């Protein structure tokens, strides 16, 4: 098991290229199960989650390869397999998004329940509700979702939940409806750029989907889809993380391969805090004043402030001048990073789904433990600016969602090393 050793105090400068989006690539790979013939995906990040999805796809009868240019080639060669096994699904929650494609293309699916995660339960009831509305028969058997349907039929489906719309649920139902008979309308669909990117790929493969990026999706089912080529959108969460890294170190960093239109809520909040975000053609320059203002932030479904940048923002606000209030509306228990930041001298008080952050003059290096993907990023950010040495353990979490983050940070001037734990 590896760890990061970070010696704080280095100002980040230079350029960094943002990788393709993990959260877009995973459902895109699953969607290729719907198609006849090969698909080619460009700019798929080389991440642990992508490798897990590749293993799952292979187990479901697809040939998945990555060429020297980093493109992923997917071609289904065996449609007799319909079981997404627990041994693979348990490693990555996004595996649930093979349910819709398997059901629509192979008429039956047996997919392991993905369970919860370190910041609480993330139920799949909306996935099941949507697929049942399309005519699927679904039951739970020994920890597996067992779904079947001779022919799916279009329907009007409401996918709103207690914490807003569901991204993977929208993806699952949209993929299944692409091969359903008739028209499907999804109300309260997720509006995230990753859902829009999925619809773009499906349409290029022959689907008829309109309204992607809005709360109302219309899908007119087609008889077949054909593999095609597709470039994955830039990872807006990685981009937000590097923006915060530039700001927390008082740096001057140019981000390449970034779509700022996907990040308006993040940019607006960073500017309010005192971070300077300047578009420069197809690049963005991020720098910071030495004085960071406090802020009130509430996470919301897109286009609101993303829950996946909440932890990184808290790390940044630990050094602001005043009191900040961060309320988590998507996953109210997603504050595992708070206890570790306290070990580094942060002043944070948690009250239910809210964290109250009082800025301190400096953070202090300490041994800390990563609990999940974005918490890992927050602890790395804190380590970049802390006095002394910070050791971040269990960094397999960060490898799930950041492509060689230590290499990118080191090229910007960070003093960070990956080491094996003794």
CB 171, CB 99: distance < 8 Å: no
Per CATH, which fold does 2-18+234-420 belong to?
A: UDP-n-acetylglucosamine1-carboxyvinyl-transferase; Chain (3.65.10)
Question: Which numeric CATH code is attached to 22-231?
Answer: 3.65.10.10
For the chain, which residues score pLDDT lower than 70? 115-123, 422
Q: What is the pLDDT of residues 178-211, one digit of tens each?
A: 999 999 999 999 999 999 999 999 999 999 999 9
Q: Which class for 221: exposed (0-12), middle (13-18), buried (19 or more C-beta within 10 A)?
A: buried
Domain map (residue ranges) of the chain: 2-18+234-420, 22-231
Is 117 annotated as catalytic? yes
Percent of the chain residues topping a pLDDT of 90: 90
Catalytic residue among 75, 117, 191, 318: 117
CB 96, CB 123: distance < 8 Å: no
Q: What is the pTM of this model?
A: 0.96
Q: What is the structure's pLDDT at 114?
A: 80
């Amino acid at each position: 098991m590896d760890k990061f050793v970070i010696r704080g105090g280095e100002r980040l400068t230079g350029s960094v290229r943002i990788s393709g989006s993990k959260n877009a690539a995973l459902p895109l790979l699953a969607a290729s199960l719907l198609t006849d013939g090969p698909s080619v995906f460009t700019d798929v990040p080389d991440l642990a989650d992508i490798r897990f999805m590749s293993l799952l796809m292979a187990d479901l009868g697809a040939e998945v390869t990555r060429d020297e240019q980093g493109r992923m080639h997917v071609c289904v060669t065996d449609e007799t397999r319909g079981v997404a096994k627990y041994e693979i699904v348990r490693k990555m929650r996004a595996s649930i998004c093979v349910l819709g494609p398997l059901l629509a293309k192979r008429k039956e699916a047996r997919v392991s329940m993905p369970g919860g995660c370190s910041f609480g339960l993330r139920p799949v009831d909306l996935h099941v509700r949507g697929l049942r509305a399309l005519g699927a028969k679904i039951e739970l058997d020994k920890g597996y979702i067992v779904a079947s349907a001779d022919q799916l039929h279009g329907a009007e489906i409401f996918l709103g939940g207690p914490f807003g719309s569901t991204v993977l649920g929208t993806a699952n139902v949209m993929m299944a409806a692409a091969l359903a008979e008739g028209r499907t309308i999804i109300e309260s669909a997720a509006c995230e750029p990753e859902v829009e990117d999925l619809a773009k790929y499906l349409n290029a493969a022959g689907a008829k989907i309109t309204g992607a990026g809005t709360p109302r999706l219309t899908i007119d089912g087609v008889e077949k889809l054909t593999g095609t080529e597709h470039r994955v959108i830039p990872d807006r969460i990685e981009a937000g993380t590097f923006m915060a890294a530039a700001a927390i170190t008082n740096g001057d960093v140019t981000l390449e391969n970034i779509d700022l239109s996907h990040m308006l809520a993040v940019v607006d909040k960073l500017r309010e805090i005192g971070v300077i975000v300047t578009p420069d053609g197809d690049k963005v320059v991020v720098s910071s004043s030495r004085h960071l203002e406090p802020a009130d932030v509430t996470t919301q479904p897109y286009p609101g402030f993303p829950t996946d940048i909440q932890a990184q923002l808290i790390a940044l606000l630990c050094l602001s001048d005043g009191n900040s209030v961060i309320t988590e509306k998507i996953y109210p228990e997603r504050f595992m990073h708070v206890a570790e930041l306290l070990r580094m001298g942060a002043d944070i008080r948690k009250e239910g789904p809210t964290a109250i952050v009082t800025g301190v003059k400096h953070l202090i290096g300490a041994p800390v433990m990563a609990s999940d993907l974005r918490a890992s990023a927050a602890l790395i950010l804190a380590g970049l600016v802390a006095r002394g040495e910070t050791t971040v353990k269990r960094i397999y979490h960060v490898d799930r969602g950041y492509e060689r983050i230590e290499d990118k940070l080191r090229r910007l001037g960070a003093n960070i090393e990956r080491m094996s734990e003794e």
